[in-house]
């Protein structure tokens, strides 16, 4: 029965409204008090039923909720035959709950839109080679799927055949279609705008990037910040305090109507709902714009950040370096380059890929006894030779003699902004390569936006040589630049910044810089939709789009400000109403409930403004 009544709250609210209109029409228009009393009494009884059930359920778990206060107030008003106010209060309370639910659902529109984008079916290849439509839950890793123009990609996968352009807005927030061809990666929930492709399923169901994004946004929207936890704790004691105050007022004044009015006016509804709605709307805006915020604690800390530390390669730069200079110190260069290509071919480091691409077609040797020197390079045995590939520090550790000419070449390449890769064979320097990466387009302007948003320190930490790092810092207007930084040195530097009282955010790739991402108050990953980025950081910039960073900071600041505004509105309304009931004759129970519900609507609408937030120029 309780469940049935609660499921019909909106119908009860509508019936109550009709009865109230009939009651007042009968009394004021036709002077028929009997019909007016009957209608208002029925409206009061019907209206208080769902409220009383919610109050009972709250008391069962030892919580004095807002519903308890309203139930006592309505029953009291009914008993003293103040039927107009009891009927109006129940209607306004139910109507306020209806509006609250409607508007809260709108603030959760981002997650709703995401779930609606989730694919439901797929064209799966059978044993006969034909394609049949199946539920997406029936797709397994390794299955071959056919995707036609206009269809959603059902899983994360790799293109086997065909070409097309895919709208990846559900993953990156960017609506411009991305070209895909053989061996390109595709993501579940994205839409093939033209072309036909066959893909092999790499990840399915909740393991897809899209599935993880939905899970992340849901968890973030349900998380609670320190402010929310305080308000929950505050309301736990505040609501019984209002009840005690009403009892004291009744005991002193003997005015039951005044005591009942205080119960209604003291309801902390706007205070309880104001902060969560700001949090949910802010996270929803981020999800729409390719910024994943992992909860309201992240919003709190990032809004106060004063120092942002960046990794260089792949963050401030494109992450696609090219060999720009090469100095040879040996006559038999082809064999040395083959050794170098053989070593670097086993690495997926951007510099290694640049070297292999530059050398091109060559003979590849078997690489034995590989020893990776952390932050330095690689030492390996190839065809009976000891080959060392790495930076200057590693060459010195290997006791490789660097002549005056080679040191001069090193200095020249560093001044030109190159990352250096030196290659020695059997203890002798053979090749020096200068590799340069390009600054990400628009990064300088984005950094200026961060400064305007209140970030005082912009720091770059890189394992690259100091000369290259200094050039990048000078070009971008950074406040600090530190080169030759191993991962442990980066982590130590972040600890030093925190010890000085700075609130630090670290922006990296989510893989090599995981210690720094973990140590900073806020870890920000240039995500590109990867599992590692999503799992290891507090904020993910989808598609590795650096321009999302100023939006993320501006959004968290706007969200924090919005939370404070809602708290002020909520507290201000309660204080004003409680003051008015003692100092004014105009504040009664009905007016108090009306203002109370309006205050809830105001804080919700104020929070919803965040859904349309855009960083101002």
The 10s digit of each residue's pLDDT in 430-440 is 999 998 888 88
Asked which of 436, 467, 494 is the last residue of a domain, the reply is 436
Question: If you average pLDDT over residues 359-375, what whole number do you get?
Answer: 84
pLDDT for 123 equals 92
pLDDT category of residue 226 using cuts at 50, 70 and 90? low
pLDDT for 443 equals 92
pLDDT for 432 equals 94
pLDDT for 529 equals 43
pLDDT for 224 equals 58
φ/ψ (deg, to 5) at 12: -60, -40
pLDDT for 244 equals 87
pLDDT for 169 equals 63
Of 119, 121, 120, the closest CA to residue 132 belongs to: 121
pLDDT for 104 equals 59
> Does residue 416 lie within any of the structural domains?
yes
Which three-class secondary structure state does DSSP give residue 589?
A: helix
Sort strands 322-328 and 428-436 into parallel, antiparallel or unpaired: antiparallel
| Alpha-carbon gap, residue 488 to 128, rounded angstroms | 55
Can you tell me which residue has the tokens 């799927």?
A: 145
Sign of CA dihedral 29, 33, 35, 41: positive
| Alpha-carbon gap, residue 84 to 67, rounded angstroms | 19
pLDDT for 450 equals 94
Which three-class secondary structure state does DSSP give residue 126?
A: coil
Residue 192 is part of a domain; what is its CATH number?
2.70.150.10
Can you tell me which residue has the tokens 């140590």?
A: 519
Residue 30 DSSP code: S
- What's the pTM? 0.67
Measured in residues, the chain has a length of 617
pLDDT category of residue 532 using cuts at 50, 70 and 90? low
pLDDT for 292 equals 82
| Alpha-carbon gap, residue 314 to 241, rounded angstroms | 56
Instruction: Say which range, 168-172, 303-307, 331-335, has the weakest mean pLDDT.
Output: 168-172
The answer, yes or no, to whether residue 306 has pLDDT greater than 90, is yes
Question: Cβ(604)–Cβ(278) under 8 Å?
Answer: no
Instruction: Write the burial class of residue 404 (CB in 10 Å: 0-12 exposed, 13-18 middle, 19+ buried).
Output: exposed
The range of the structural domain enclosing residue 426 comes to 322-436
The answer, yes or no, to whether residue 173 has pLDDT greater than 70, is no
> Does residue 63 lie within any of the structural domains?
no
| Alpha-carbon gap, residue 278 to 272, rounded angstroms | 12
Interacting residues of 32 by C-beta distance below 8 A, sequence separation 6+: 26
pLDDT category of residue 234 using cuts at 50, 70 and 90? confident
> Does residue 530 lie within any of the structural domains?
no
Number of domains in the chain: 2
pLDDT category of residue 150 using cuts at 50, 70 and 90? confident
Question: If you average pLDDT over residues 472-482, what whole number do you get?
Answer: 91
Asked which of 436, 469, 492 is the last residue of a domain, the reply is 436
The answer, yes or no, to whether residue 475 has pLDDT greater than 70, is yes
Residue 405 is part of a domain; what is its CATH number?
3.40.1110.10
> Does residue 227 lie within any of the structural domains?
no
Interacting residues of 434 by C-beta distance below 8 A, sequence separation 6+: 323, 324, 325, 326, 413, 416, 418, 419, 420
Residue 314 DSSP code: I
Which three-class secondary structure state does DSSP give residue 170?
A: helix
pLDDT category of residue 297 using cuts at 50, 70 and 90? confident
Question: Cβ(41)–Cβ(84) under 8 Å?
Answer: no
In the numeric block, which tokens belong to residue 65?
């909720």
Which of 90-99, 189-198, 286-295, 525-534 holds the top average pLDDT?
Answer: 189-198
Question: Cβ(467)–Cβ(319) under 8 Å?
Answer: no
| Alpha-carbon gap, residue 541 to 528, rounded angstroms | 7
Interacting residues of 309 by C-beta distance below 8 A, sequence separation 6+: 459, 460, 461, 490, 493, 494, 497, 504, 505, 506, 507, 516, 520
Which of 288-297, 409-418, 448-457 holds the top average pLDDT?
Answer: 448-457
Question: If you average pLDDT over residues 297-301, what whole number do you get?
Answer: 86
Question: If you average pLDDT over residues 315-325, what whole number do you get?
Answer: 83
| DSSP class per residue in 569-584 | HHHHHHHHHHHHHHH-
> Does residue 66 lie within any of the structural domains?
no
> Which residues face 458 on adjacent strands?
308
Answer with the residue of higher pLDDT: 214 or 583. Answer: 583
Question: If you average pLDDT over residues 231-250, what whole number do you get?
Answer: 79
Answer with the residue of higher pLDDT: 306 or 546. Answer: 306
Answer with the residue of higher pLDDT: 478 or 597. Answer: 478
Q: Looking at the annotation, which residues are catalytic?
A: 311
| DSSP class per residue in 484-549 | S--HHHHHHHHHHHHHTT--EEEEE-SSTTHHHHHHSSEEEEE-TT-HHHHHH-SEEEGGG-TTHH
State the CB neighbour count (10 A cutoff) for residue 616.
7
> Does residue 343 lie within any of the structural domains?
yes
Question: Cβ(508)–Cβ(516) under 8 Å?
Answer: yes
pLDDT for 238 equals 76
The answer, yes or no, to whether residue 551 has pLDDT greater than 80, is yes
The answer, yes or no, to whether residue 283 has pLDDT greater than 90, is no
> Which residues face 454 on adjacent strands?
none
The answer, yes or no, to whether residue 531 has pLDDT greater than 70, is no
pLDDT for 216 equals 59
> Does residue 352 lie within any of the structural domains?
yes
Of 277, 278, 272, 279, the closest CA to residue 233 belongs to: 272
Asked which of 436, 454, 486 is the last residue of a domain, the reply is 436
The answer, yes or no, to whether residue 533 has pLDDT greater than 60, is no
> Does residue 257 lie within any of the structural domains?
no
pLDDT for 114 equals 56
């Amino acid at each position: 029965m309780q469940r049935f009544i609660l499921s019909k709250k909106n119908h009860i609210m509508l019936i109550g409204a009709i009865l109230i209109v009939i009651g007042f029409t009968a009394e004021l228009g036709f002077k028929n008090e009997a019909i007016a009393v009957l209608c208002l009494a029925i409206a009061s009884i019907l209206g208080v039923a769902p409220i009383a059930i919610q109050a009972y359920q709250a008391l069962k778990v030892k919580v004095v909720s807002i519903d308890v206060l309203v139930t006592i107030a309505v029953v009291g008003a009914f008993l003293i035959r103040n039927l107009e106010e009891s009927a109006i209060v129940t209607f306004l309370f139910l109507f306020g709950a209806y509006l609250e639910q409607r508007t809260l659902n709108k603030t959760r529109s981002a997650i709703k839109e995401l779930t609606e984008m989730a694919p439901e079916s797929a064209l799966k290849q059978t044993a006969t080679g034909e394609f049949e439509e199946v539920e997406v839950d029936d797709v397994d890793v390794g299955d071959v799927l056919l995707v036609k123009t206009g269809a959603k990609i059902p899983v994360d996968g790799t293109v086997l055949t065909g070409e097309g352009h895919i709208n990846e807005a559900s993953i990156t927030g960017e609506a411009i279609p991305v070209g895909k061809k053989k061996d390109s990666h595709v993501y579940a929930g994205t839409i093939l705008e033209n072309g036909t492709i066959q893909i092999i399923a790499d990840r399915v169901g909740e393991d897809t990037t899209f599935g993880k994004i939905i899970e992340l946004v849901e968890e973030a929207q349900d998380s609670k910040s320190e402010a929310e936890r305080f308000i929950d704790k505050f309301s736990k004691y505040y609501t019984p305090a209002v009840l005690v105050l009403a009892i004291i007022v009744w005991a002193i004044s003997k005015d039951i109507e005044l005591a009942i009015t205080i119960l209604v006016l003291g309801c902390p509804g706007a205070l309880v709902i104001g902060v969560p709605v700001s949090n949910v709307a802010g996270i929803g805006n981020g999800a729409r714009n390719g910024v994943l915020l992992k909860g309201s604690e992240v919003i709190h800390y990032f809004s106060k950040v004063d120092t942002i530390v960046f990794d260089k390669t792949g963050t401030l730069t494109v992450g696609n370096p090219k060999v720009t200079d090469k100095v040879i110190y040996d006559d038999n260069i082809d064999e040395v380059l083959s050794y170098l290509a053989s070593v670097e071919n086993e690495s997926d480091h951007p510099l290694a890929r640049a070297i292999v691409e530059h050398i091109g077609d060559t003979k590849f040797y078997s690489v034995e006894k590989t020893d990776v020197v952390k932050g330095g390079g690689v030492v390996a045995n190839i065809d009976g030779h000891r080959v060392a590939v790495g930076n200057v520090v590693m060459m010195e550790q290997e006791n490789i003699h660097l002549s005056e000419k080679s040191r001069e070449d090193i200095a020249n390449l560093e001044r030109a902004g190159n990352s250096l890769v030196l290659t020695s064979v059997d203890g002798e320097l053979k090749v020096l390569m200068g590799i340069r990466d390009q600054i990400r387009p628009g990064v300088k302007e984005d950094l200026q936006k961060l400064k305007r948003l209140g970030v005082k320190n912009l720091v770059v930490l890189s394992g690259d040589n100091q000369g290259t790092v200094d050039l990048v810092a000078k070009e971008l207007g950074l406040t600090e630049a530190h080169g030759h930084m191993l991962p442990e040195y980066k982590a130590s530097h972040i600890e030093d910044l925190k010890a000085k009282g700075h609130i630090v955010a670290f922006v990296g790739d989510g893989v090599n810089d995981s210690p720094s991402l973990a140590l900073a108050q806020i870890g920000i990953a240039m995500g590109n939709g990867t599992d590692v980025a999503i799992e290891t950081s507090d904020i993910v910039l989808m598609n590795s789009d650096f321009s999302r960073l100023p939006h993320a900071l501006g959004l968290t600041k706007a969200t924090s400000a919005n939370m404070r505004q809602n708290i002020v509105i909520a507290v201000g309304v309660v204080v004003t109403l409680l003051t008015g009931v003692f100092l004014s004759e105009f504040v009664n129970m009905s007016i108090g409930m009306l203002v109370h519900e309006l205050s809830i609507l105001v804080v919700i609408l104020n929070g919803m403004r965040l859904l349309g937030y855009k960083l101002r120029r």
